[in-house]
Chains A and B, each alone.
Chain A
Amino acid sequence: MDDLLADFVAESREMLDALAGEIVAWEADPADRARLDAIFRFFHTVKGNCGFFDFPRLEALSHAAEDVLADVRAGRRIPDARLVDAVLAIIDRIGEMIEAIETGSEISEFGDEGLIEALTLGGDAPTTEAAAPQEKSNPGGPERSYAGPRSIRLHVDLLDRIMSGVSDMVLARNDLARRLVEMGDESGLQVPFNRLSAVLADVRDAITHTRMQRIETLFAAFPRLVRDLASELGRQVMVELESGDVELDREMIELIRDPLVHVIRNAIDHGIETPAERLAAGKREIGLLTVSARQTGNEIRIGIIDDGRGIDTERLIQKSIEAGTITAEQAEKLTPRERNALICEPGVSTAAEVTSVSGRGVGMDVVRANLERMGGSIMIDSTPGAGTRIMLNLPLTLSIVPSLTVGVGDQRFAIPRSYVEEIVRGGTEEAELAHVGGRLLVTIRGRRVPCIALGDVLRVAGQDARAAKTLVVIRLVGGDQFGIAVDEIIDHEELVVKPVAPALMKTGFYVGTTQLDDGSPILMVDISGIAREAGLIREVERVATSDSEVDADADAVNQLPVLLFTGFDGRRRAVPMSVVDRVETLDASAVQLDGDRSQVVIEGRILPLVGVDDTVEFANGTLELFRLSDGLAEITYGFKEKVDSTQVDRDLSPAEDRPYVAGVALVDGKPVDVIDCHALFARYGRIVRQGELPVCRLPGNDRWFQDFLRPLVEAAGYRVVDETDEAEADLAIASHSRGSAQEHRAGRVIWLRTSREEPPDRAGTIYRYDRDGLIGALRAANAGRGL
């Protein structure tokens, strides 16, 4: 909408500017028909445009002027000086209003009537008087100036030419720089050359931005879109947007909007299941939809990832055969990705029924056609039951890419910086290396990340992969991380990247080529291609499953990767890496210590907390814990200090009768208790889901309840609803004066009072700032429910 408005302002301004000359000419000769027509058209256009927006005054002004000029054109009125003055005054007024719209300021309504009146034949009010008050009425307002930002419309082709010209200039400048260095200082050209460089940098910067718009402007509409679609379709969807600072060609943003919206619709309609289905499948009730963007050499990659049911490929193939898109024999030979791609064939839809949102079998084919028309492509990966990842690859007409240049062996390569998360030194404390089953793993802040040597993947000789001294940590679209070991980081540069020849593009390892300052060509690597080659792209990022255990088995048969930590009792323990979902730091307020029944609240869920006792003291008011998962249930395990990740022998020495200890392993010659996850989950593991949270009703329109009380209630493990929720709540909290328990539709009601002392007629109420009392009551209500 803002864009539309900006267009309106820009267009009106252009017309006003163009009109300036006409007005003067018309003033000199009011009978000049051509001028009159031009001015008439101006009013007509402004009036028409006002229909799109809510600018009644602007519309009234232009309408009045248009009417009068129509009379003049029809010969019903003779333009006299007074009429000309009146029309000019209106033009001026419109100019002011447009300026006010642009700056978002208000302009006094006073004077409009007078201006319109001045147009009428018998109007005696001289225009000057009508116009005069308006100037006074706007003291301190924005000065009317024509120095504000102006705009012109350019053809995109022209910008393309300028841009490629500037790109070439940069390269020519680099070449020149090199030659100057070769000549030494005697040339006397250094100073003018530096000036040229600075100017060129400025120009390049300006040109770069002429066509670019942050992709965030496109993404901004998605939360609302997702919310509306989700409620229409009865889904619960959380959307995560990651724009990766990507800037996209303005034109491209318009072209990509519809396809992207369509893919998101599909993800919500076909991908993400209803809350009930999700619960039945052992997933969180709320589906997760991630939309992220990354820039590589000459491509923008937009990933739309959902954790829904995935694509039913069998059905898809069946449908495709029915539709005559492929034959059964052809279907046999398809790779999984090619099977998924069938969804983009015309007339194929796996939706069992047609909804208002999707399922009509038109759409994905149009999406693909649109993408291909702009030189892009679409790639679909899906794991049944776990989710779908759709990648839209878009070409980038603009070709200046911030990059990292790295050295491997005696060769150099460029890596697009938007992929680079950080650079670490391998083999140091911050990034410990481990070789597991022929794969290099690096541990960065408790996260184990697979590593590959760039030299290995590209088969460049001379790289010592095992040393992995310098690691470039990459984050892929979709969040997968991995490290790329290189020999050296050469530079951060803004490189003018040009497409590589198709034969090299086809290898999947390169996205572009560029030249360094010394004029030597350098290839920009395709990070996704490298990751795919090295087997680092998982089909779809999944919620913790037992797969990781299988992987670990395959990697090291006799070694168990574990995380070492010190418990609150001071003992060193180890927890198998495969059950650790993540390490988290929680605010103490989210922790309830209660002996064997301690709990934490994470992301709106109550999880059992073990590894702590009631005497635990929180350092800095926070608790660090592991989130352990067996794929269905989750348990949290608090610890005092995380030590290290390491491997222990799977053959553990038996532990004498300590609870939840599978056995003792030796680490650096010292015994370490390895946690018995089976026993732990057998005792504490219960599948806690949001749907099972007790429900508490709070008055929705009361700021105090929503702002002050709600966090406390949520921390106590309740899901908070308000009066609009029809269902019976487990608990309601209300001011003592308001209503009965029936009215609050709750099993129990906690009544709050505003006075500290308990008045006799209000027995059983709780003072609203009695925190302990409130927490006690909340917990009692929860316990009464039998949880």
Chain B
Amino acid sequence: MSELYLIVSIAGEKVALRAADVQSVVEIENITPAPRGPNWIAGLAALRSRALTVVDSVRSLELERPEGEELPRKAAVVEHQGHLYALLVDSFEDVVEAESDPDSIPAELSRGWQRVACGMTETELGVMLVVDLGELVAGPAEKKAA
């Protein structure tokens, strides 16, 4: 079980993305805004001839990002249910091999993290939270709409 993980930093936390899910890591140049979209969708960007939906990971985690703060430019490109997303991350740390199978988390996390966490795994960089990409790109549940 030597699953590879891409360790990225989101909102100051280091988390693990399954490397197999990540198509590439890119620097996003221009983002076309999507007015009236949810606030965690930063807009659209182009990757060669394909359009990416840019996800502001911080807002998707329901964490605060001060209005007007510049978005990070680094992004992990992932495909989810046929759509391409660019997950904005503060930085790429490393690609590491898992030293254990993902394990359940023994404690309650803060709300956004709780939703996207699908377990944790032991790596050479320490214990890492494994992020469920589907949840991250789906954004917070629509509680306001209810």
Please indicate the chain A residues that have their CB under 8 angstroms from the CB of B44 in the complex.
Answer: 513, 521-523
Nearest-Cβ distance from residue B82 to partner chain A, whole angstroms: 8
Indicate with 1 or 0, residue by residue over B49-84, a CB within 8 angstroms of chain A CB atoms.
Answer: 111110000000000000000000000000001110
Number of A-B contacts (CB under 8 A): 78
Q: Are A175 and B49 in contact (CB under 8 A)?
A: yes
Give the segment of B18-26, B33-41, B105-113, B117-125 that binds chain A.
B33-41
Q: Are B32 and A520 in contact (CB under 8 A)?
A: yes
Total interface residues in chain A, CB < 8 Å: 29
Does residue B129 face the partner (Cβ distance < 8 Å to A)? no
Q: Are B51 and A504 in contact (CB under 8 A)?
A: no
A171 and B49 in contact (CB under 8 A), knowing A501-B83, A503-B41, A503-B139? yes
Q: Are A523 and B34 in contact (CB under 8 A)?
A: yes
Q: Which of A175, A503, A507 contacts B53 (CB 8 A)?
A: A503
Does residue A639 face the partner (Cβ distance < 8 Å to B)? no
Q: Are B36 and A411 in contact (CB under 8 A)?
A: no
Please indicate the chain B residues that have their CB under 8 angstroms from the CB of A519 in the complex.
Answer: 46, 48-49
Nearest-Cβ distance from residue A688 to partner chain B, whole angstroms: 49
From 500 to 559 in chain A, residues with beta carbon under 8 angstroms from any chain B beta carbon are 500-504, 506-507, 509-510, 513-515, 519-523
Please indicate the chain B residues that have their CB under 8 angstroms from the CB of A506 in the complex.
Answer: 38, 142
Q: Which of A174, A458, A499, A514 contacts B83 (CB 8 A)?
A: A499
A521 and B45 in contact (CB under 8 A), knowing A501-B137, A509-B36? yes
Q: Which of A174, A460, A503, A507 contacts B49 (CB 8 A)?
A: A174
A175 and B36 in contact (CB under 8 A), knowing A500-B53, A501-B41? no
Q: Are A507 and B37 in contact (CB under 8 A)?
A: yes
Q: Are A514 and B53 in contact (CB under 8 A)?
A: no
Closest to B44 in A: A521
Does residue A172 face the partner (Cβ distance < 8 Å to B)? yes
A507 and B36 in contact (CB under 8 A), knowing A174-B49, A515-B51? yes
Nearest-Cβ distance from residue A312 to partner chain B, whole angstroms: 29
From 1 to 39 in chain B, residues with beta carbon under 8 angstroms from any chain A beta carbon are 30, 32-38
Nearest-Cβ distance from residue B61 to partner chain A, whole angstroms: 15
Closest to B35 in A: A458
A523 and B53 in contact (CB under 8 A), knowing A503-B37, A507-B37? no
Please indicate the chain A residues that have their CB under 8 angstroms from the CB of B48 in the complex.
Answer: 171-172, 175, 519
Q: Are A510 and B49 in contact (CB under 8 A)?
A: no
Q: Considering the complex of A and B, which 8 residue pairs feature the smallest CB-CB distances, nearest first?
A: A171-B49, A521-B44, A501-B53, A458-B35, A521-B51, A501-B83, A521-B32, A513-B51
* A-to-B contact residues, CB < 8 Å: 168, 171-172, 174-175, 411, 457-460, 498-504, 506-507, 509-510, 513-515, 519-523
Report 15 cross-chain contacts, Cβ distance below 8 Å, ordered by A residue. A171-B49, A174-B49, A411-B33, A457-B36, A502-B83, A503-B41, A503-B53, A506-B38, A507-B38, A510-B37, A515-B46, A515-B49, A519-B48, A520-B30, A521-B45
* B-to-A contact residues, CB < 8 Å: 30, 32-38, 40-41, 44-46, 48-53, 81-83, 85, 137-139, 142
